Structure 1
Amino acid sequence: MASSSSSAAMRELQRELETKANDLSKLQKDISKNHQVRKKYTIQLGENELVLKELDLLKEDANVFKLIGPVLVKQDLAEANANVRKRIDYISAELKRLDATLQDLEEKQNSKKEA
């Protein structure tokens, strides 16, 4: 009987260990996904900041065009400027959100590793 209860305890311990390992693996995948999304946003932020610098060099009467599908559509310089700034604000906010999520995921990962 003693061996049967220790065998059951062993199986339970193994199940618990597998569950914790799976949880840790899922967290690591989430962290990796977060890094990929963050990289994409960082690239977009750089591109938009470059566009903003170019727009700032233009005179007020300059022709500005926006690519919509296969068509270039004329756009007001002030409107283009405002759109790019809004995009930069949005991307910056998303990066802050991703950083907070990443920090939370890494804290969970560390506590899972300790467990």
Structure 2
Amino acid sequence: MSLEKNLEKESLEMRKLQSEYSKLIETSQQLSSQLQENELVQKEFSLVGSDAKIYKMIGPVLVPQDKEEAGLNVEKRIEYIKAELTRVEARIKELATLQEKKSLEIYNLQMKFKEQATISK
């Protein structure tokens, strides 16, 4: 494979990594926001009495829900979001490392390409 084609291939791979990285950053931000919202709901549940009426919105309708059941649902949601956030953050770190390596590979290929262009003149 020629040096130029190799450089193009590596650049394309780098753009794919950057695209995935951007999407994961956005996902991480959304998950963090959801986590904060659910933790706020959990805090609110701890402030209301056991006889409080809790409603869950299902579509356009508010449906009564047991406080314990609602609390358990929020707790499970928080656990899920935390696990998902951990997974996404691990992938973000992995992609950051891959991007650094790919950037170095591209830099080395560019240097070889410049050398080759200088020698052939």
Amino acid at match of 2:44: E
Match of 1:90 among 70, 76, 80: 80
| 1:31 aligns to 2:55 (yes or no) | no
- SS of equivalent to 1:74: strand
Q: TM-score, normalised by structure 2?
A: 0.85
Q: TM-score, normalised by structure 1?
A: 0.89
| 1:18 aligns to 2:8 (yes or no) | yes
Deviation at 1:110, TM superposition (A): 0.7
Map 1:17-96 → 2, pairs under 5 A: 17-96=7-86
In structure 2, how many angstroms separate the alpha carbons of the residues matched to 1:29 and 1:75?
A: 42
Residues 62-104 of structure 1 show CA distances to partners (whole Å, capped at 9, x for unaligned) of 1000000010000000000000000000000000000111111
In structure 1, how many angstroms separate the alpha carbons of the residues matched to 2:50 and 2:97?
A: 50
Q: Aligned-residue CA RMSD in angstroms?
A: 0.9
- SS of equivalent to 2:62: strand
Residues paired across the two proteins, number: 105
Q: Which has the higher contact order (CA 8 A, sep 6+)?
A: 2
| 1:113 aligns to 2:103 (yes or no) | yes
In structure 2, how many angstroms separate the alpha carbons of the residues matched to 1:69 and 1:49?
A: 22
In structure 1, how many angstroms separate the alpha carbons of the residues matched to 2:31 and 2:86?
A: 11
